Amino acid sequence: MNIIDELEWRDAINQQTDAEGLRELTEQKSVSVYCGVDPTGDSMHIGHLIPFMVLKRFQLAGHRPVILIGGATGTIGDPSGRQTERSLQTLEQVQANVDALTAQMKKLFVTEGDNQIRLVNNYDWTHKINVIEFLRDYGKNFSINAMLAKDVVASRLESGISFTEFSYQILQSLDYLHLYRHEDVQLQIGGSDQWGNITSGLDLIRKKEGPEAKAFGLTIPLMLKADGTKFGKTAGGAIWLDPNKTTPFEFYQFWANTDDRDVVKYLKYFTFLTKEEIDELAEKVQTEPHKREAQKRLAEEMTRFVHGEELLDQAKRITAALFTGDIKSLTADEIEQGFKEMPTFEATKETKNIVDWLVDIGIEPSKRQAREDITKGAISMNGERVGDLGLEVTADLAIGGRFIIIRKGKKNYSLVKLS
């Protein structure tokens, strides 16, 4: 299957500058393709992954991907998708973010071997250009009228836009020109909000290299959930690729909790499963939705891709333990992940009777209620039902010497930290 056919089947194409020309080019040769990300933070979130999954598909189809990390553009600020100016970061912070994103990209994508992904930083060529050269050699090729007509700028005219952010599309256009000349890049891909920047780059290439220059642009559709909200956002914020920001268990659970209406779309966008495999899972969404096989497969594929097999196994182990109540099978670190968002209480390592202990740390409102719940079998500790009103709670009962898990009723879990 031609890469363009595959992207169309996966509903991964929003706009193309020359669909027929790009299809012909990808059938004739191995094409160098680039996608960029600005180092606005020290980690990508899953929304950033959308165009890079397309870049990975080009790699698997035998093309040559280039990832651009915007060490220069990150100091300026992309106005796309914003109604206000970005806060400028220090050069030191930008560089720290560049280093973090570079490490993240190397982990996600093959950067060695014949079919490697090449990583570049636009600071390497942009910082050498002085202001006179910038204005004469590049600024002269941009019409203010055309720049104002771009959606990304037009949407900001009422609220205001600085010259710094206004000039962003010139810098990104310069990137495409540089990569066209020095890396043989003929295709830029990006989110739907990048259309104006991409077409500006193509205009610059044709002004500098001639109207017959073969360069193309392709954007990916804006992804919304079935309820109309933005993909990748939860009540707790973004879903990060950095395991220190979003734990592998939380990452796995995000995908596992996907709405039936969205899961097939996500399987197409984010996994490398075949059409036959996805069609089979789509059928199960219709016939056996209660089994959530499509969601489980999506969660497995994405967690493996981002975090690797070992952390996928850990996420599945935590999930299974929470479902079965087999808490003792978990390590202290796994407890910390799995119960991160659950009610948390503090306790000392002092030995206490179970009734007093539950009341003192605040899980039970009174000794009478504590005794009643224990007698009814409604209290479990570390997965085992408490039936003895005389039980002494000691530090030895804590998992890893750090945590005790109390379940009250069927689903009300609490994490108790011992100090």
Please give the annotated binding residues, written as ranges.
34, 168, 172, 233
Dist. CA 157–CA 166, nearest whole Å: 10
Please state, in angstroms and rounded to a whole number, the distance separating the CA atoms of residues 359 and 279: 53
Angle at 187 between CA 184 and CA 189, to 5 degrees: 135
Residues 6+ apart with CB under 8 A from 33: 55, 58, 63, 64, 65, 66, 185, 186, 187, 188, 189
- Determine contact, residues 128/178, Cβ cutoff 8 Å: no
> 């004469």: which residue's tokens?
136
Task: Round the CA-based radius of gyration of the chain to a whole number and report it.
Answer: 27
Under DSSP, the state recorded for 217 is E
Check residue 353 and report its DSSP letter: E
Q: Are 398 and 418 in contact (CB under 8 A)?
A: yes
- Reading phi first (left if > 0) and then psi (alpha if -120 to 50, else beta), residue 189 is in beta
Instruction: Find all residues with CB under 8 Å of 261, minimum gap 6, and list them.
Output: 226
The backbone torsions φ and ψ at residue 244, rounded to the nearest 5 degrees and listed phi first, read -80, -15
Q: How far apart are CA 226 and CA 216, in angstroms?
A: 31
CA distance 22 to 27: 9
Gap between the Cα atoms of 293 and 361, Å rounded: 40
Query: What residues are designated binding site for L-tyrosine?
Result: 34, 168, 172
Nearest to residue 36, comparing CAs of 197, 164, 156? 197
Amino acid at 58: F
Binding-site residues for ATP sit at: 233
Cβ atoms within 10 Å of 211's Cβ, excluding its own: 7
- Give, as one character, the DSSP assignment of residue 40: S
Closest of 405, 398, 388, 391 to residue 419, by C-alpha: 398
HSE toward the beta carbon, residue 204, CA cutoff 13 A: 27
